[in-house]
Structure 1
């Protein structure tokens, strides 16, 4: 009779790759926000997070290049030609956080926490794009759409800045994700007023959206001359189409 205790166990039916799926994932390094030295550090009232190609087009049409205020580094990502997120200091005192390269979904929450906790803005405005797949492909390719999601603090005061004139996103289900949604979630946890405005289509001109026109006026940009561009953003092409 076989001894089930001392006999050698039968060979595993799992391959080594399958067994690795049960291992504890390694702890990812914390994102690093490198802030430029400034003898008079600003106390930002408003942080504008530029994610959609349409909103990034406004950044390239500013009257003068704003100085770099901070850079967000993700140590676990391969070395790139530039950091994923750069924060610029606008002459109005607002901070402009531009997502130059897409932040992976599994790192969005950590990146959002680093931005909000370090910069400590009073209010946050996120400008993102909605994915057609979130509406099961029922969005018209040539019909501009804009809608907003807000934290409870923002709803109590009627919205944040240029988002005050935007209607609520309908339906408000799981139609947004990534860095923008993570920033709004972080602001909700911290009790900050944050509005997230998403637009469709991703490649539309800023002048086609009321929120973009109002943001352009605040930044001193002519929205009619600003054209949406996707330069070096192949990942965004896949995400928002």
Structure 2
């Protein structure tokens, strides 16, 4: 098995046509290895969300190649891309997007059931993930009964529920105070290492970015290394 989990080669993304065309990515190249956390730091409008959407197969690029676990995704039909997202990619956003009517445990169990897992096995997996996140005692609380940091840790556990190869985190600590941000980032890092997954974390927090394995940015539509 190759150590390379995600490979982007000469990825381009253009919105619109003719003189109104906007070239957001102009040849982005990036490799993520298993067990590696890469921080993506770039100003608003540089293309961070576009890059994450392409990595997560939520958008098809105008050109270039995106390989996940050695599989070329450019030729996959929409149904195949959906299955790849469901089983190999996890998402964490700035807002937790937990379902308010369900408990923390149920929020983590649900994506497993959708993927075809049995109820008992899914619940056991959910309990284990909550323990890893340090909030096993909050399993039966609904999101409104959890603190912001607890909500985000449940969201991370949910993203990891189906043992994805790749986790994409878009400003996952953006709504949290510095101390809680540290706790959430540490929980995410531990989970990535334990599962030997790969992670791209888009953040404006330079202190957190320095704790990643490496930091990249987007300059004129291309991915470049960044020293902080």
* TM-score (normalizing by structure 1): 0.31
Structure with higher RCO (Cα < 8 A, 6+ apart): 2
More strand by share: 2
Structure showing greater Rg? 1
* TM-score (normalizing by structure 2): 0.32
More helix by share: 2
